[in-house]
A and B are shown apart, each in its own frame.
Chain A
Amino acid sequence: MAELEFIHVGKTYGGEAPAVRDLNLKIDEGEFVVLVGPSGCGKTTALRMVAGLEEITEGEIRIGDRVVNDLAPRERDIAMVFQNYALYPHKTIYENLAFGLRMRKVPKDEQRRRVEEIAQKLGLADMLNRRPAQLSGGQRQRVAMGRAIVREPEAFLMDEPLSNLDAKLRVQMRAEIARIQQALEVTTLYVTHDQVEAMTMGDRVAVMRDGVLQQVDTPQRLYDAPANLFVASFVGSPPMNLFEATVEADGTQLVFGETRLELGGPLLRDYSGRRLVVGIRPEEVREASGWDGARVRGRVLLVEALGAEQLIHIEIAASPLERADLVDAAAQPPGPTLGVEELERSVTLLGRFDRHLLLTPGEAVEVAIDPSLLHFFDLETGLALPTTDVPAVAGVAG
């Protein structure tokens, strides 16, 4: 076991824009870090550089106290689980599991002992003589995991190992992998594009975009205090509601559409008279009755019943975010396409409501928003704004 460190790591494929830019990230011994981002953000490239399957253009990668830049994959003592499992089809499950040990010249009986132990743990003991083609998807996935575990390597690298499983099995294996990692306490770098996987599995989550690391933090901190618009829109399902607003009255009021929101203090004094981006999580959009806070009027567009709760799309008057390049396109809430005409500029506010609330599409509705739970971002840079007064953004939702 060892720590894993990226120091100013960059990767450029001849002539193209860099796939990874100045990546600095340290994964402590035994820590589970998830690298997450939309496809093409450089997360897999970063992982493959650690494995030695991709050359490092600049900077250095350390495993333990060794700089591994110039080491061959086999000399790095890491194990990797591939997205498509990459089982050796002509070898039996036993031979698949034992391959790494054989390559490392572990004595035969030691090989047998370790393979059988792992097979027992993963429920593969009856299948050691079969070939990969005779196994189900979930079993193949477990063989791929087993092949990594049996080596007892310095670190695990996992490249979207769950993306080929069906939804139910994925949830099951998600817990399984997290459990195995905790039991073995092996340093793990896990790559996924699925933010739910990232949030549920990682000790810390590193969000990447266009080859640039956006933020690294615990899942909860990432959710509560996203560093910029991209992270805000990427983390959370459904994603955060984002729209533009103007700061008025010396930073104490927020104006969007016909709504004037009292912030309860000069939170945004520096932004007085300027426009910025406001974000609010769907669960912080509340039904107005019995609530004294600021109110926003809107109209119900769509009700999605999820069983335990319901997602309600509410159209409100506000300016939609124009800098779409600052957010995760896939996570953006549906725009005002279902629009009501009298609202010139409208935004769909997604709210997560109790299932007992009865609302029908077309109905006018009032929701309450707690100003202290709002997130603010700079319109130009997309960076989260530090609010000048306290009951501010971070650490409130709980």
Chain B
Amino acid sequence: MSSVTLRAAPALRDPAWAGRVFWMLAALALLAPMLWATEFKPWILFEPAGLRSTLRFVGEFFPPKLDAEFLQLIAYETWRTIAIATCGMVLALVLAIPLTLAATAVLSVSALPGRMHAGPFLLRQAVRWLLILLRSVPELVWALVFVRVVGLGPAAGVLAIALTYSGMLGKVYAEILESGETHPTTALLRNGSGRLQAFFYGLLPANTLELTSYTVYRWECAIRSSAVLGFVGAGGLGQQLITSLRMFNGAEVSTILLVFIALVWLADWVSAKLREVLA
């Protein structure tokens, strides 16, 4: 009996022990150059001189600055943040809708009997590449570029959001339109309706909900990004935040951060409610 327990005892040890140790060491070996590349030195956070100024700065966070004049300024900047996002979305839609119509393969007449013709195919691919290019440049980079071209101010932010979001909207719209039920659309096209007619009577009614819900979601994202676009001088809350940070004004920073958080929550809530109403 005792010999059985003795033989059973080794099974309590982890059979995968060697493998685990190997992978842990391998992960550490991978991690080391990363720590070096990112200058990962947590101890500089606790150096006395730096720590003292950080603590002084954070100490000023409470109480937040709440005098009427400053609050008025912040309210104005908050509205500008929302306005930049909304104008950017409208311009993005103006750009994205025609591009979507051009990129959607379902609306191809030549593809009805079989393969799409070379000309329309190349056009659609070109539009797709344009959308991918617009989308892959982050809006902050567009904003940097436009601040150089049109000067500081909300115009740069609006244009940046318009360009990046037109790429995102166009690509996803085309995907939504092509993934849904396409039978009514092709039936219309086969019976001689125009492409626009087929779109308005076949494709659009079938996908309205999904399209609007995605648009509302993107508007929420646009508000979040317009809040940070100000960091490069494109107006709105971000610009105010960076100004207060440069002046080490903790009380102002904490007010702006609170407004930031409230704005993000508000956009989140409104967008969830809107999607609920529309569904």
Partners in one complex: no
Name B's A-contacting residues (CB within 8 A): none
A residues engaging B (CB < 8 A)? none
